Structure 1
Amino acid sequence: MSFIRTVFSTALKKSAKSLSTPSFHPKLSNLPPNVLYSDLPDVSIPELSTPKFIFEKCTRYEHLTAVECGLTGRKYTYGDLLKKSKNLDRHLRKNFGFKEGDVVAILLPNIPEYPVVVLGAQHAGLVVTTLNPVYTPDEIHRQLKDSSAKAIITLVSSWETASESRRLLNKNLPILVIRTEQTESLPGGAIDLHGFLNTDVDYPDPPPRRPQDLAILPYSSGTTGLPKGVQLTHRNMVANLCQNQTLNFIEDATSGHQDVVPAVLPMFHVYGYSVNSLLPLSRGAKIVTLPKFTPEDYVSVLRTHKPHVLLLVPPIVLFLSGHPMVKQQDLQSVRIVVSGAAPLGASDEHRFNKKVGRSVHMVQGYGMTEATATVVVTAVKLKEEVDVQGSIGRPVPNTTVKVVAIDDPSGTPLGVNTTGELLVKGPQVMKEYHNKPEESENAFLDGWFRTGDIAYYNEDRVLFITDRLKELIKVKGFQVPPAELEEIIRDFPNVEDAAVIGVPHPGQGEAPRAYIVVKKGTKVNREELQEYVKTKAAHYKQLKGGVAIVDSIPKNASGKIMRRSLKLEYEKTNK
């Protein structure tokens, strides 16, 4: 397949200059040309399992609140987290005979028990596979079958869904349920998890887990195909926590201060669990959980708990910037905002800071399930040195990345301001896909993981993600990134949200088509929007596929636009 290199020099504010490697980082001088490495020193990764790594912090911060429910106020201290996790570990092994490497499925929203359950199961030597709590029984059944799960842990309210999933599997898996209120009745046949958490049991400790042992099995579609189990080891998890700690988003707790971090990003997703749960716990912070995002509940957490760090996805950043419910004073305690899972444009960052009325560190992170969450970040120190607005920054410690031409089997790294596929190496990169040898082999190129994301870097060696490889719009040989157009469209008056897909076009192969959500009580003229895009983007990027006004943009739980859903709907209505 031919590839046309697109140079973004017109989009850069700074004049071209030669690439220099910081003299304080000796490893950079040994890298091949155009391979990017972190400008932060490598970190030492302890030979510990994930639970052992977190449990060390539990001892240090024993009396501090570790996690609290933002709806009910139900909470656990770090001492509780340690004790309840170990109780669960012993009960799982004693009562069910689970062996090292067995898989337990977690079907839960964000609740205070989530890290207790995961750490307890992992300390027992088990592997955790995380499920989206809004999945249907069919979807759950497929993951249970593929992962060979031996038990399900869920809520009382999800009992029926879990039971139907078990019926489809045709296996009598034990289902352990969590009661979020004392008045909840235990369904017939269910096992009360709190009985395990709160009861000591005399049972030998398990043998220590090795760093190379599997820790968690989340599911990801990768660059193509149906969801696949991503084998993440304890070393993957601990490495990424150590990498993220060096970025100092969250401060270590002291006798006089404890960072507060809302946890609305779904913990079944690796970003939500690793970065929004384990990372705060590794610093002694207080996590405030929300089972799902609603404007009222999130604003209530802002006002009641006065958080210091917000870990978000772009749709929530846009909500905070634009919704009249959110007042300037609601954000006055916020020290730093980290946005990930999808690109956030420079104009989006500007609108947020305008809402806050002061300069808040707005940093972006980039990663994926296959890399245990984090690969590249705009660290606070980096933002103080160069202009990184709209960028995802530079690699985290111990990580190298390169941009290569699409379908280039040699993997030759491309130079500055040239787009291609982003490849990554680091201790956080997965072992392989579960039971998928062919997909595992295709995911790597000479040891480099192929992200499937399109990127480029500028003269300051900061990276920009432009889109997903499989979502690029092909216009007469040119490759148009939908995210670039979406940022432009969102900046048009009265546009609340936007998505762009490629649709068939007789003269140019494909053409961009926009779907927009209009702010309540306002209107948007389609023709005026199309003329506005003409002033902001090259001729081949024009919205010749039309503009559709919709009630909402389909997005997955991590905030990524589900462009495939829009394409399928378009194809269905235009047969």
Structure 2
Amino acid sequence: MAENHEAGAPGRWTPPAGWPAMSRADVRAALTAPGMPFEMETVAIDGRPTRTWKNAPPSLRAVIETSRAHGNATCVFYEDERVSYDAVFRATAALAHHLRDLGIGKGDRVALALRNLPEWPVAFFAITALGAICVPLNAWWTADELAFALADSGSRALICDGERWARVVGVRGALPDLEACIVSRIDTAPDGAERLEDLIGATDQWQTLPDRNLPQADLLPEDDATIFYTSGTTGKPKGSLGTHRNICTNVLSSTYNLASAPLRRGEMPPEPSPKVILLVIPLFHVTACSAAMVGYFVSGHAMVFMHHWDAGEALALIGREGVNLTGGVPTIAWQLLDHPDRAKHDLSSLELVSYGGAPAAPDLVRRIDTGLGAAPGSGWGMTETMATVTGHVAEDYLNRPDSCGPPVAVADLKIMDADGTRELPVGEVGELYAFGPMVAKAYWNRPEESAATFIDGWVRTGDLARLDEEGFCYIVDRAKDMVIRGGENIYSSEVENVLYEHPAVTDAAVIGLPHKQLGEEPAAVVHLAEGMAASEAELQAWVAERLAHFKVPVRVVFTDALLPRNANGKILKKALVRFFQTAMR
């Protein structure tokens, strides 16, 4: 059962004696056995036999109704606001009845453009409990970007906060489908819109709302539930149409990964208990909404929201609120570790720091373990898979810090060649394909792009990856981010990981620069940790000692700010090309 890869090598984690106590195959068999919480069943989805979690909630309506059982337990902390699960359900029911009165019903699109506020889950569940399709919009978008998604989705209603309303109001005249707008966190109802607080009250009044059921709606697992827009790193974002089954699959996928770790060390998984979770990534993204929030409503966890991300404030919140879990994207973990005030705060409650959405340097995995005293966790997914497809935590992640884990039991992965006609053997790099009940139906109103991406139930991810003999997945690059220098493939993540190992580097990205003879050459943009220094020549020599010469960046430029990212945590490499060109003038 020797599964450690180069255990004891310099800088690598050394497993304790007897680990792993169970193989991954035995863990899967134990967790998915008949009668167990992770039992599976095969159902036909679009005519294709698909393994599913037998005990997953059938719909988002079922999720919010289940949450009533948590009663007065805290659901959301936001600044000085504390809202219980009972209060959230009362507000959800009140808003759902109002939406029904507006004529919103099954299949109608309702957009949601809010910061991470207590009313975000209220609006989300009110919409989806009716059978309407929730369209979460990127709260960072400009007026034109918001208008594009509202028009593209054909949303009949919009629920937003005052900041987003200020952007939308100027373009509303160009949105004939948009019949109703509800605005929160605004002093008075604006012309042409209702004020959310006039409908359900402020958060401290939700507990006094009538205790009533949701409006009647008949929902099936395969009914449409959400349209999440892709990150849009290139071109216009596409709306990924997801079903209730897609999103509810994550309720068990995330906990499956957590339950695997104790068995691997020879222990029984502990009984589930409510946790306090600092949720700092935007809820308009699948990582926060699908892989986190929806499952938390089933488990009864308390969520701590922040007005905006600040590592110093986050450290204080962890100590003050007894936060057990945080993360989201690797940048958050780096900033917590590198903050000069980290030692001033009590972080003893922290049990797990997990993330997805963007690759993490192996050194970060070790530093979470030693620097924060928490288990590291990672997973891989995308908007088109409603988040979680793979994942691992604790020892498995420490043992394979460059992997995003194996697929959950209901998912399958395969590696295909460039034209998608031949599956590649174990260990070879090709395009990653994923299959399972979490794979979205299609792109909204994009039949040609849907046909090119969703193939016989599999989704072409655009990620270059390899699988090892035990099924652990290693994302080596985005296909479009790979640098090809004179015919040699350079995976940017490989060079970035080496740069991250330098003690002065806290953020790094490798891009391709045009070259007349070679086609491209690698170049790097680097952000240094506060109080640290490094030169271009020093970093080039650092990489040259660890990688082949052709992979060494021909230029390294430094930026005072962290690198630009989208809401998913992925670095915006097009913006970096422009930055690099400006910096080199």
2:114 corresponds to: 108
Structure 1 residue aligned with 2:219, among 198, 209, 227? 209
Q: Are the counterparts in 1 of residues 247 and 438 from structure 2 also a CA contact under 8 Å? A: yes
1:392-442 deviation per Cα after TM superposition (whole angstroms, max 9, x unaligned): 1110121110112222x3242x22322111111000000000000000010
Give % identity: 30
Q: Are the counterparts in 2 of residues 261 and 311 from structure 1 also a CA contact under 8 Å? A: no
Stretch deviating more after TM superposition (454-463 or 547-556): 454-463
Cα gap change, 1:554 to 1:92, in 2 (>3 Å): same
Structure 2 residue aligned with 1:534, among 544, 547, 551? 544
Q: Are the counterparts in 1 of residues 158 and 178 from structure 2 also a CA contact under 8 Å? A: no
Task: Give TM-score, length-normalised by structure 1.
Answer: 0.86
1:498 and 2:508 equivalent?
yes
Q: Are the counterparts in 2 of residues 90 and 201 from structure 1 also a CA contact under 8 Å? A: no
1:461 and 2:467 equivalent?
no
Cα gap change, 1:115 to 1:483, in 2 (>3 Å): same
1:196 corresponds to: 199
1:309 and 2:316 equivalent?
no
1:62 corresponds to: 71
Deviation at 1:532, TM superposition (A): 1.1
Structure 1 residue aligned with 2:95, among 88, 96, 101? 88
1:339 corresponds to: 355
1:30-49 matches, within 5 Å, as: 43-46=53-56, 48-49=58-59
Deviation at 1:280, TM superposition (A): 1.6
Measure the CA separation in 2 of the matches of 1:500 and 1:306.
38
SS in 1 for 2:388: coil
1:81-230 matches, within 5 Å, as: 81-94=88-101, 96-169=102-175, 173-179=179-185, 184-198=187-201, 200=210, 205-220=215-230, 225-230=235-240
1:277 corresponds to: 293
Letter in 2 for 1:195: D
Cα gap change, 1:205 to 1:252, in 2 (>3 Å): farther
SS in 1 for 2:350: coil
2:16 corresponds to: none
2:496 corresponds to: 486
Measure the CA separation in 2 of the matches of 1:59 and 1:269.
25
SS in 2 for 1:442: helix
Stretch deviating more after TM superposition (163-172 or 100-109): 163-172
Cα gap change, 1:373 to 1:468, in 2 (>3 Å): same
SS in 1 for 2:58: coil
1:403 corresponds to: 415
Q: Are the counterparts in 2 of residues 91 and 201 from structure 1 also a CA contact under 8 Å? A: no
Cα gap change, 1:379 to 1:343, in 2 (>3 Å): same
Letter in 1 for 2:411: T
Stretch deviating more after TM superposition (503-512 or 364-373): 503-512
Stretch deviating more after TM superposition (158-167 or 315-324): 158-167
Cα gap change, 1:258 to 1:241, in 2 (>3 Å): closer
Cα gap change, 1:495 to 1:379, in 2 (>3 Å): closer
Q: Are the counterparts in 2 of residues 66 and 286 from structure 1 also a CA contact under 8 Å? A: yes
Higher relative contact order (CA 8 A, sep 6+): 1
Q: Are the counterparts in 2 of residues 45 and 238 from structure 1 also a CA contact under 8 Å? A: no
Q: Are the counterparts in 1 of residues 361 and 497 from structure 2 also a CA contact under 8 Å? A: yes
Letter in 2 for 1:207: A
Stretch deviating more after TM superposition (73-82 or 429-438): 73-82
Measure the CA separation in 2 of the matches of 1:346 and 1:203.
48
1:112-137 deviation per Cα after TM superposition (whole angstroms, max 9, x unaligned): 11111100111122111111112111
Cα gap change, 1:430 to 1:349, in 2 (>3 Å): same
Measure the CA separation in 1 of the matches of 2:280 and 2:564.
18
Unaligned runs of 5+ in 1: 1-10, 28-36
Q: Are the counterparts in 1 of residues 416 and 432 from structure 2 also a CA contact under 8 Å? A: yes
1:547 and 2:547 equivalent?
no
Cα gap change, 1:110 to 1:557, in 2 (>3 Å): same
Q: What is the count of residue pairs matched by the alignment?
A: 533
Stretch deviating more after TM superposition (507-516 or 323-332): 323-332
Q: Are the counterparts in 1 of residues 386 and 440 from structure 2 also a CA contact under 8 Å? A: yes
Q: Are the counterparts in 1 of residues 231 and 568 from structure 2 also a CA contact under 8 Å? A: no
Task: Give TM-score, length-normalised by structure 2.
Answer: 0.84
SS in 2 for 1:230: strand
1:264 corresponds to: 280
| Cα RMSD after superposing both structures | 2.9
Deviation at 1:66, TM superposition (A): 1.0
Measure the CA separation in 2 of the matches of 1:330 and 1:557.
29
1:517 and 2:527 equivalent?
yes
1:389 and 2:401 equivalent?
yes
Measure the CA separation in 1 of the matches of 2:517 and 2:5.
31
1:251-304 deviation per Cα after TM superposition (whole angstroms, max 9, x unaligned): 9998xx631001101000011111231122211110111132122331231121
Stretch deviating more after TM superposition (135-144 or 532-541): 532-541
Cα gap change, 1:172 to 1:258, in 2 (>3 Å): closer
2:17 corresponds to: none
Letter in 1 for 2:196: L
Measure the CA separation in 2 of the matches of 1:167 and 1:326.
49
Measure the CA separation in 2 of the matches of 1:410 and 1:139.
36
1:378 corresponds to: 392
Deviation at 1:233, TM superposition (A): 0.5
Stretch deviating more after TM superposition (280-289 or 217-226): 217-226
Cα gap change, 1:205 to 1:512, in 2 (>3 Å): same
Stretch deviating more after TM superposition (235-244 or 106-115): 235-244
Structure 2 residue aligned with 1:362, among 352, 364, 376? 376
Deviation at 1:574, TM superposition (A): 7.9
Cα gap change, 1:444 to 1:156, in 2 (>3 Å): closer
Measure the CA separation in 1 of the matches of 2:452 and 2:278.
37
Unaligned runs of 5+ in 2: 9-22, 31-39, 41-50, 202-208, 262-268
1:69-119 deviation per Cα after TM superposition (whole angstroms, max 9, x unaligned): 1x2x2122111122211111111111x212321111111010111111100
Q: Are the counterparts in 1 of residues 28 and 409 from structure 2 also a CA contact under 8 Å? A: no
1:358-386 deviation per Cα after TM superposition (whole angstroms, max 9, x unaligned): 4x221111100111110000145855xx9
Q: Are the counterparts in 2 of residues 153 and 177 from structure 1 also a CA contact under 8 Å? A: yes
Letter in 1 for 2:567: A
Letter in 2 for 1:109: R
Letter in 2 for 1:51: R
Stretch deviating more after TM superposition (533-542 or 452-461): 452-461
